[in-house]
Structure 1
Amino acid sequence: MAARERAPMDGKGSMDNDAFVYTTYIRTTPDELWKALTDPGLTRRYWGVTFETDWAVGSPMVWEEGGRTTADPAQVVLAADPGRLLSYTWHTFTTEWAEAVGIGDEVFARLVGEGRSKVSFVIEPAGDMVKLTVVHDDLVPGGTIRGLVGEGWPALVSSLKSLLETGEELPEVPR
């Protein structure tokens, strides 16, 4: 059971149009979900990415994907409350990353021009399940990054859910 919303409420009853929000329910515990979001052995399984960080607020994050590392002083942990909330800035777009994932020069230039975004994982107990809400915000409305994460997060969260519920991640979704 999952729901995709266009944008979260800003607390004042209006829509924040620069965010992508995805909510699902996973039969797991908050602690196991936290581990799946932060443990390199698990993130590599369902995402193909690992993070080198100590998960303290303000700490840098080095992304490793497919043998490539992406380090940037602006890639940092924004919030880390185990079993409740994890938030960090999104990775820096590099030419090496773009080449490895098949992003052309024109799309790469648009990605770089849109600036840095962030992602938050809100973890809430829901009976014998956990409600996970992924909020990817600080996006340009209608921008290239928004389009990519709008396709990417549902597939990624589905693989995470499968891993936690069955012990097996989903096969990589074709691009």
Structure 2
Amino acid sequence: MDSDTFVYTTYIRTTPDELWTALTDPASTRRYWGVAFETEWTPGAPMVWEEGGRRTADPEQLVLAAEPGRLLAYTWHTFTPGWAQAVRLDPEVHRKLLQERRSRVTFDIEPAGDTVKLTVTHGDLEADGLMKGLIGEGWPALISSLKSLLETGEELPEPPR
């Protein structure tokens, strides 16, 4: 595909407020994502990503939009050497990721009867970049685990690496 944007939509049997909490509360995000965010969830607020005891902070990691129960957007994280080592990223893959521009992710939350429509839009990607391929596999798995957590109380098991 020739686009700089990846879009994924699903419907979750939950409420907009419960979905918002699942996207922003550190205890929830750790369960289905393995990541917790330290931020005020206000536009312009810095974000620190905490994953497996590692903290990734960068002045360009920012909340872009935050309307509880409706909209959440932020810049994607920084690919530090510590992060790459912790996730066992091949050094060549890490080098390629560092050459790509910073992307952003937006979560649109819309009531849809007894469900909530969640649209994840990951934009500002390099059209033929490595990140686009990685998130093309990552977001469906992550959002499926989020959906399972909200609908059943249990996140999906992490797939084998």
Tell me the TM-score range normalised by the shorter chain.
over 0.9
Structure 2 Cα separation of the partners of residues 25 and 124 of structure 1: 9
Structure 1 Cα separation of the partners of residues 138 and 87 of structure 2: 13
RMSD: 1.0
Output aligned runs, 1:3-152, within 5 Å. 17-152=3-138
Write out per-residue CA displacement over residues 57-79 of structure 1, whole angstroms, 9 at most, x where no aligned residue: 00000000000000000000000
Q: Unpaired segments of 5 or more residues in structure 1?
A: 1-5, 7-15
Structure 1 Cα separation of the partners of residues 42 and 31 of structure 2: 23
Q: CA deviation at 1:110?
A: 0.7
Q: CA deviation at 1:171?
A: 0.4
Which residue is 2:157 aligned to?
A: 171
Q: Unpaired segments of 5 or more residues in structure 2?
A: none
Amino acid at match of 1:37: L
Q: CA deviation at 1:49?
A: 0.1
- SS of the residue corresponding to residue 132 of structure 2 reads helix
Q: Number of aligned pairs?
A: 161
Amino acid at match of 2:12: I
Taking only the aligned residue pairs, the percentage that are identical comes to 73
Amino acid at match of 2:41: W
Structure 2 Cα separation of the partners of residues 102 and 144 of structure 1: 16
Write out per-residue CA displacement over residues 2-51 of structure 1, whole angstroms, 9 at most, x where no aligned residue: xxxx6xxxxxxxxx810010000000000000000000000000000000
Write out per-residue CA displacement over residues 84-139 of structure 1, whole angstroms, 9 at most, x where no aligned residue: 00000000001111111111111101101002000000000000000000000100
Structure 1 Cα separation of the partners of residues 160 and 125 of structure 2: 24
Q: CA deviation at 1:174?
A: 2.5
Output aligned runs, 1:151-166, within 5 Å. 151-166=137-152
TM-score (norm 2): 0.98
TM-score (norm 1): 0.90
